[in-house]
Amino acid sequence: MNTDDRKWEIIESEYLIRRPWLTARRDRVKLPTGVEIPEYYILEYPDWVNVIAITKEGKFVLVRQYRHGIKETRYEICAGVCETGEEPLLSAQRELYEETGYGNGNWTKLMTVSANASTMTNITHCYLATEVERISTQHLEETEDLIVHLLSEEEIKALLLNDEVKQSLMAAPLWKYFALYSHS
């Protein structure tokens, strides 16, 4: 018996809302200690992807967009949802193409992270794409308003050091990139 596996037992589960961008449920759970939590709330999401894309010229491909949750416009790496049945790498390649018009290049998985492992069901697959090139125009959805920017490594570092990248799921892979591959 693996004593490190401290999995909770779900005694009862009830969906509170099931909408395209919000699925929430309330679980009644029992901990390995025997303690019961009558109301534990979980948000269900599909897996997400994001991409650190770097052009053949060494520029980072970012988008700038408004985020209503914090009511600010920010620089971000390309990101999106894994469509049902779509492999994460294909989702990442599709998102980069749709949001920026960039593609091709060399792709590697950089890391996987959770936005909030205690209450959210999904993970984010983070990719590094090097040697990308512009192959098309943007193919945005009606609700997307993104402006593409090409930034230098120094500019990205300055954004990170000045807390200008607010989305933690984007800051984490950028910091890992600089820990592993920084040229300066």
User: What are the catalytic residues?
Assistant: 142
The 3-state DSSP class for residue 44 equals: strand
CA distance 172 to 177: 9
End-to-end CA separation in angstroms for the chain: 48
CB-neighbour burial class of residue 150 (10 A; exposed 0-12, middle 13-18, buried 19+): middle
* All residues at 6 or more sequence positions from 92 whose CB lies less than 8 Å from its CB, including other chains: 49, 50, 51, 78, 107, 125, 127, 129
CB-neighbour burial class of residue 173 (10 A; exposed 0-12, middle 13-18, buried 19+): buried
